[in-house]
Structure 1
Amino acid sequence: KDIFNWFLGQDSIGFFDVSDLVEGTDYFANARVTDRVGFKSEVISTDGFRMDYGIPVAGTVSIKAPFQSDTNNIIFTWQGFSDALSGIGHYDYTIGTTAGAADVAPRTNTGSMDSTTATNLKLGNNNTYYITVYGVDLVGNEISANSSGITIDLVPPTIGTLADGSAEDVEWLKDTLQASANWTGFYDLNGIDYYELALGTTALGTDIKDWTDVGKDTSFTFTEILLKINTDYYFSIKARDQLGNISEPISSDGFRIDAEGPKISNNSVPTDSPLSIFNPISIDLTLTEDVTSYEIQTVSAQGDPSGNSSQVSKVGTNINIQLTPPFTSADQITVSVSLTDVAGNINSGLNYTYTIGYLADYDNDGSVILADQTEFVTAWNNNDLTKELGPVTGTAPYFKPTPDGEFNTRDGMAFVRMWYWDKSNASGKLMAKLQASQGYPLNIEIEADHMMVYPPKGTKAVELILDYPSMDMKVKLPQSEIFSDKGMTLSMADTIGGQLLVNTAYFEKSDRPVRIDLQHLQRERNIPVDISYLFLDENNEPLSSGNEFLDIKPIPKEFALHDNYPNPFNPVTTINYDLPKEGNVRLIIYDIMGREIAKLNNGFMPAGYHSVKWNARNQFGVEVSAGVYFYQIQAGQFSKTQKMILLK
């Protein structure tokens, strides 16, 4: 009775004002009964109680996920609620659209459970709901805690874009055994759980690869497949969110397999024809397909900057390469091309080698011939600077011209040096040609020490080629200048092989004869000479051409009677005499008394070198005695006597 004294009550319930009681103290209620006569019973006491004024400690409320697709049920748990005095008695929960609200589910007692499933709910899509859990202690003090929001998600992920290839979208892939795709832009409030990817020959098709879980990555490569060229293929993809909502499947715009590198289908400039030294080079390369990148390199074999640098442009499937003249004569310019197509195929083995024509080869036939000489002489005479050649640097045939705007000896010497190089560096250039005879026949006169070739009227250029036995004859042009007021004459001789080439080009039409000097090295035999001839008109067209075999008989320049040999002699001696002209010839032997002994010749003889033997017999065939004899020749106006001695 230290808190409350005894007080009288009429029933079995006692009420006390405990507002002044304190926590932490044990309190006991005591009771006794007094009967009507005043006897008091024994005092009995309760087992004690304590005061609990404090609210419990709040715990946490957990949900399975911040998003769910179930619109009827919510599963949640809680933990960490406590009360140090009376202890937690039970838990209540409410569900609302805001924290602490109960507009979705009223307050419900769950007893002492630490998890529950709220059922029979009506939850709306894209709405967020909160669970409030109340921890109530044994004396009715309570504390609440709210969960994080749960959003109802019934919408599948939004679709993004799907690209063929591992980076930017491509139209072509080059590998037939694997194919890659990548994608972006897929979105879902609760996040993407995984993607499914397929590959087929139609949009959304799966005939190559069925739907495959590729995880959360945004790119994937199918391997161990076999793709065909010229077939359309499509990747397809769909996204699944954390709640199992699956997006609409989409397909890529498709791709094809290109397993071959790009090629060049047409080259506008053939490589089998020489190119001009003085004209710009413009090469158009037509590709079999468009390319994403290309490399063009030009290399001059002679190191000419004009051949080592180029301007390159590309329009569509056409690549244009420009090179600026002048180029180096006989140079070779190699154009190397490397192409990469949209599929990534590379073709770097494309090389084209162009040959620059020879300087002075105006007709581009690969040789500096008579027609070129005529062209040059005509241009010189007409001051046609489009055919100018010099000055030049380098050595033949690799001359680099830098025209100075005038014809002078530099141009002439450039032509001469190219002409001589051409004849010296190719076999057969000095051989007589077996060419068909046409036009005028060859008009030629052969004298003792020279021949004269007479061109037909209207001749602008002459080419003569002679093949002869060099052991029997020497052949050459008379000494003269290359350039004269009439034109230009070039010649080349092979004195060992027995060949002579003469090229003459006139400023104007001319029928002046061409003289070729002859020197006989033997007198016994006729000399076979093969001569080919070509006479060109002012249009470089043949006036006359052909081939003839000449049988040239050695002819002396003057009459002569030579010493006999041997002298003295026994019994035979030889007498040589020269006749530059044909005619009657008397060759008589006389003794010392002037008597005629024998007639070695008395009749017509052709021009030439002649030889006769005397056997020391008279005209009757009788041997003559030893002694001094004379032999005399008479040929026209020529007469000469020589002495000889016969021994016995």
Structure 2
Amino acid sequence: MNTGAHTDITLTNSPTLIDGAIYTVSFGATDLAGNSATTVSTTGITYDVTAPTISSTTPSQNSYINNTKVSYTLSESAASGTITWTRTGGSADSNSPHAKALAGDELNTGAHTDITLTNNPTLVEGAIYTISFDAKDLGGNAATTISNTAITYDASAPTISSTLPAANSYVNHARVSYTLSEAISSGTVTWTRTGGSEDTNSPHAKALSGDELNTGAHTDITLTNSPTLIDGAIYTVSFGATDLAGNSATTVSTTGITYDVTAPTISSTTPSQNSYINNTKVSYTLSESAASGTITWTRTGGSEDSNSPHAKALTGDELNSGAHTDITLTNSPTLVDAMYTVSFDAIDVAGNAATTVSASNVTYDFTAPTLLKVTPAADSFLPIADNSKIRIDFSEPITAYNVDASSKLGTNLNTSIQQDSDSLVISVNAPLTSLDTLTFKVTNLTDRGGTVGDAIEISYQTSILADYNNDYKVDVQDLANFVSLWPNLDLGPANGTIPYLTPEMDGLANLRDVGIFTRMWHWSYANNGASSKVFTSIGEPITINHSSDKIIVPIPDNAVAGEILLQYQETDIDLGLSDEVTENRMVISNRDAVQGLLAVNFGYMKQMQNKELGFSVQHKGKSNSDFTISYVYYDVNNTVVNMGTQDFDLKAIPLEFALHENYPNPFNPTTTLRFDLPEVSNITLTIYNMLGQKVKTFNMQSTPAGYHSVTWDATNDLGEQVGAGVYLYQLQAKGFVKTRKMVLLK
């Protein structure tokens, strides 16, 4: 009750008012003197002891915002209010805290939704704040502070990067890749068809979920909400995202993405299974272009290949869709002569792998076929009267060839050919022409791989007709064959000119065959001759009987043919063959008078006993002559049974008795009396004078045949010289008597 100011006091007798009531407050006073003051009254005084409440605040706790808008509800109008942003983390904010007073309508009671304050704060990107709401009502009651913590201020939109699939790519799946600059609250990957196969469900907008919303790289993932795409359709793939603060990323789109889940097919491949080839060319057809492809050669047999397998990548045009026919790869393998499995692989641009196509047992043969062996050997003889077969063996099987058969003499050849895997058999049909050369030329010799070998030329000689042992001669050995085969042989008749005869066998053994053999023997002798020979002794020497006028050569019983050569002095004697051909014996002879050589071949067509050959001798002079007999005999097996050479001295023996003119005549003091004895004789040579008286007698007993002479020295039987004059000399021998005159001069 004291005088003076009483400020903001609680009365001792304080009233109990009713909250919310409106009062008029009147002040009255009586001083100590009893004076009453004029009553002072104030009206419209509201008694308010209830604090205001703040509710429905945003941003909420742990939220992300990209603006400074706020929401709150006041239970009553406030006399004042403040919203304070206090940094608690994240980016630094040097101006924190940001206490912003409410103004104007912002103080009104009721809801204030998503408003931008008149006093709007400037926040820092990436900073984390606690937002506190404060208010006092008109009664001065302060509201309980409302604080929302961990509010991140984020005004930057998220970025989407490193997206896959890439533009204009091919995929065989719906997997995607992307990188988020920050975690997002929502995101969508949308596949929108722009071409290719129809897709009635396009677009396919697929929301991201779970970890797919997290910040960072999401690589080659299959979305939880993966789309069902259409094979062959072309899409634009769009990536959208909104972060926790509601910032929307710029949409990232990739165009021209082809969805391809169909694997490429490889067809029409060569080389084919079980084939043979001589090059590394290949053929294949791709149903679509490939991103990569490989052809692999793996050795499975044949020659060793240390570099196997040969995996060769396709390049350039080799990867294009369509047919690739008989091409040489850019990366061509180097193979050996071996067996391989050839495998074709391809992956299309979407990554679909084709089913491997393999061809097994492919034999690569780069080596040309060559000649291994010829049977009979080249340059050997082909029989002219019998069919022949020529076998040509090659280094490997062949598939093609040409054979040209020709005759040096121009004979039309009758041939046929049989092919085995790795050989040819050429049948040459008789008859052929004697002494011909046949040439067989094999060209275009092609193996299973198609490699062509060099031309092969093979020549043969045809036998000489009647040359049974093919020694280019028709001689005694062939005669031995001839008579041994008789009558089971056939040489003729024959056409042509010696020696180029073509037999036309008649199936008979007769004189035609003998004649052909004889003609061929004479041709051979004329071309080869039968020069003097000295035969090595085989067997016991034969006993050859000879006299002045004949020679008898015995033939062994087991001999069927033989040759006898008589070499003589043609100036001294002439030799002749006494025996000729009979029905059981062939005798062929040739005389060379210049060389003094008589060659005789003989053959017996029938077994005989006491066989011999006789030769006649005619002396050309009175002197003795030596000669040589060479002989060889063959049995039925053409084996030598006897062979040898013997030398003889053949005495000159006259054919008749004769007394010849003495020499000299006239004479002094001696003269020679000559006489001939054709046989051994006892002779008397008597000299008479003209009176008939015996002057000298020469008695010569058993005088051998031959040419003889006696010298008279003009003496008588007493050894006395006789006088000059005419004398007679007389030869007496076996009834032969001959007298001649001679004159002695003094």
TM-score (ref. length: structure 2):
0.60
1:198/1:206 contact within 8 Å kept: no
Distance 1:475 1:223 in 2: 91
Instruction: Indicate which of 411, 422, 429 corresponds to 1:304.
Output: 411
**Correspondence 1:647 to 2:710:** no
Distance 1:205 1:238 in 2: 23
Distance 1:531 1:259, change over 3 A: farther
Classify the secondary structure of the residue corresponding to 1:321. strand
Residue 375 of structure 2 contacts residue 390 of structure 2 at CA under 8 Å; is this kept in 1? yes
1:269 equivalenced with 2:376 (yes/no): yes
TM superposition shift of 1:502:
2.0
1:358 pairs with 2:464: yes
Q: Hey, what does 2:395 align to over in structure 1?
A: 288
The aligned counterpart of 1:470 is: 570
The structural deviation recorded for 1:617 is 4.7
Structure 1 residue 392 displacement after superposition: 0.9
Q: Does 1:442 align with 2:542?
A: yes
Match of 1:104 in 2: 203
CA distance in 1, matches of 2:470, 2:399: 38
Q: Does 1:158 align with 2:268?
A: no
- The residue type equivalent to 2:498 in the other structure is A
Q: Give the corresponding residue for 1:327.
A: 432
* Contact 2:312/2:333, CA 8 A, preserved across alignment: no
Equivalent in the alignment of 2:708: 610
Which residue matches 2:174?
A: 71
1:72 deviates by 6.3
Counterpart code for 2:174 = T
* Offset from partner CA, 1:19-75 (integer Å, 9 cap, x none): xxxxxxxxxxxxxxxxxxxxxxxxxxxxxxxxxxxxxxxxxxxx976965573689x
The residue number in structure 2 matching 1:451 is 551
Larger strand share, 1 or 2 = 2
Among 622, 638, 651, which residue is 1:523 paired with? 622
Q: 1:202 to 1:247 in 2, by over 3 A?
A: farther
- 1:550 aligns to 2:653 (yes or no): no
What is the Cα deviation at residue 252 of structure 1? 5.6
> Which range moves more in the overlay, 542-551 or 284-293?
542-551
User: Is the contact between residue 104 and residue 121 of structure 1 (CA under 8 Å) also seen in structure 2?
Assistant: no
- Secondary structure, aligned partner of 2:512: helix
Report the counterpart of residue 399 of structure 1 in structure 2: 501
CA contact (8 A) 1:589 1:629 kept: yes
Q: Please show how residues 590-629 of structure 1 align to structure 2 within 5 Å.
A: 590-599=688-697, 602-618=700-716, 624-629=722-727
Cα drift, residue 283 of structure 1: 2.2
Q: Cα 1:180–1:458, aligned 2, differ >3 Å: closer, same or farther?
A: closer
Return the offset for 1:468: 1.3
Query: In structure 2, do the counterparts of structure 1 residues 106 and 321 end up closer, same or farther at CA, with 3 Å as the change threshold?
Result: same
* Shift, 1:229, TM fit: 5.0
- Partners in 1 of 2:471 and 2:191 — Cα distance? 106
Q: Give the equivalent residue in structure 1 for 2:532.
A: 431
Aligned to 2:316: 215
Distance 1:354 1:104 in 2: 88
Match of 2:603 in 1: 505
RMSD (Å) for aligned C-alpha atoms: 4.4
C-alpha distance in 1, partners of 2:333/2:314?
A: 20
Q: Structure 1: any 5+ residue segments left out of the alignment?
A: 1-62, 75-91, 108-118, 133-147, 174-178
Counterpart amino acid of residue 492 in structure 1: N
Distance 1:593 1:287, change over 3 A: same
How far apart, CA to CA, are the structure 2 residues paired with 1:226 and 1:563?
Answer: 112
Contact 1:163 1:253 in 2 (8 A): no
Amino acid at match of 1:476: G
Shift of the 131–540 alpha-carbon distance from structure 1 to 2, 3 Å rule, reads closer
- 2:451 and 2:235 map into 1 onto residues whose CA distance is 59
Worse overlay, 469-478 or 624-633: 624-633
AA at the equivalent of 1:71: A
Shift of 1:499: 0.9
Please say if residues 194 and 216 of structure 1, whose CA atoms lie closer than 8 Å, have aligned partners that are also in contact. no
CA, structure 1 residues 155+448, in 2 after alignment: closer, same or farther (shift >3 Å)? same
- The answer to whether the Cα contact below 8 Å between 1:192 and 1:241 also exists between their aligned partners in 2 is yes
* Cα distance change, pair 641–458 in 1 and its aligned pair in 2 (3 A): farther
Counterpart CA distance in 2 for 1:431 and 1:543 is: 21
Equivalent residues in 2 for 1:93-242, closer than 5 Å: 95=193, 103-105=202-204, 122-124=227-229, 126=231, 128=233, 151-160=258-267, 163=270, 171=276, 173=278, 180-188=280-288, 191-192=289-290, 195-197=293-295, 211-217=312-318, 218=324, 220-221=327-328, 237-242=344-349
Point out the more displaced range, 387-396 or 357-366. Answer: 357-366
Matched to 1:351, the amino acid is E
Structure 1, 502-511 or 311-320: larger mean CA deviation: 502-511
Change in Cα spacing, 1:573 to 1:168, as seen in structure 2 (3 Å) is farther
SS at match of 2:656: coil
Letter in 1 for 2:395: T
Q: CA deviation at 1:209?
A: 6.4
* 1:582 aligned partner: 680
Q: State whether residues 274 and 362 of structure 2, in contact with CA within 8 Å, keep that contact through their aligned partners in structure 1.
A: no
- Equivalent residues of 2:483, 2:560 under 8 A apart: no
Q: How far apart, in 2, do the equivalents of 1:261 and 1:287 lie? A: 10
- Give TM-score scaled by structure 1 length: 0.68
> Which letter does structure 2 place at the counterpart of 1:337?
V
Is the 2:191–2:235 Cα contact (8 Å) retained in structure 1?
A: no
- C-alpha distance in 1 between matches for 2:274 and 2:316: 21
Residue by residue over 1:235-255, the C-alpha shift from the partner in whole angstroms, topping out at 9 and shown as x without a partner, is 665334344555466666476
Q: Greater Rg, structure 1 or structure 2?
A: 2
* Identity percentage of aligned residues: 31
Q: CA deviation at 1:289?
A: 1.0
Deviation at 1:593, TM superposition (A): 3.0
Instruction: Kindly indicate whether the alpha-carbon contact (under 8 Å) linking 2:399 and 2:448 is maintained by their aligned counterparts in 1.
Output: yes
CA contact (8 A) 2:666 2:744 kept: yes
Q: Report the alpha carbon displacement of residue 466 of structure 1 after superposing the two structures with TM.
A: 0.8
Q: C-alpha distance in 2, partners of 1:233/1:333?
A: 43
Q: Matched residues in 2 for 1:233 and 1:102: separation?
A: 50
- State the 1:379 CA deviation: 6.3
Distance 1:103 1:448 in 2: 138
Q: Supply the distance in 2 between the matched residues of 1:214 and 1:170 (Cα, whole angstroms).
A: 26
Q: Does the C-alpha gap of structure 1 residues 262 and 465 become closer, same or farther in structure 2, counting only changes over 3 Å?
A: same
Alignment partner of 1:369 is 2:475:
yes
Comparing 340-349 with 314-323, greater Cα deviation is found at: 340-349
Instruction: Give 1:222 shift.
Output: 6.3
Looking at structure 1, the residues matched to 290 and 311 of structure 2 have their Cα atoms a distance apart, in angstroms, of 20
Measure how far apart 1:511 and its partner are: 2.5
Partner AA of 1:532 in structure 2? S
1: CA distance, partners of 2:563 / 2:588? 10
- The 8 Å contact of residues 628 and 644 in structure 1, kept in 2 or not, is answered as yes
The Cα shift of 1:595 comes to 3.8
**Aligned mates of 1:297, 1:241 — CA distance in 2:** 55
Q: 1:376 to 1:213 in 2, by over 3 A?
A: closer
Question: Which structure 2 residue ranges, 5 or more long, are not aligned?
Answer: 1-165, 178-189, 207-222, 238-254, 319-323
- Asked whether the equivalents of residues 332 and 354 of structure 1 are also in contact (C-alpha less than 8 Å), the reply is yes
State the distance in 2 between where 1:615 and 1:646 align: 10
For the residues of structure 2 that align with 1:106 and 1:347, how far apart are their CA atoms? 70
Aligned-partner Cα distance in 2 for 1:128–1:393:
90
Conservation of the 8 A alpha-carbon contact between 1:533 and 1:546: yes
Question: Which digits, 9 at most, give the CA deviation of each residue in 1:309-333, with x for residues without a partner?
Answer: 4211112223211111111122232
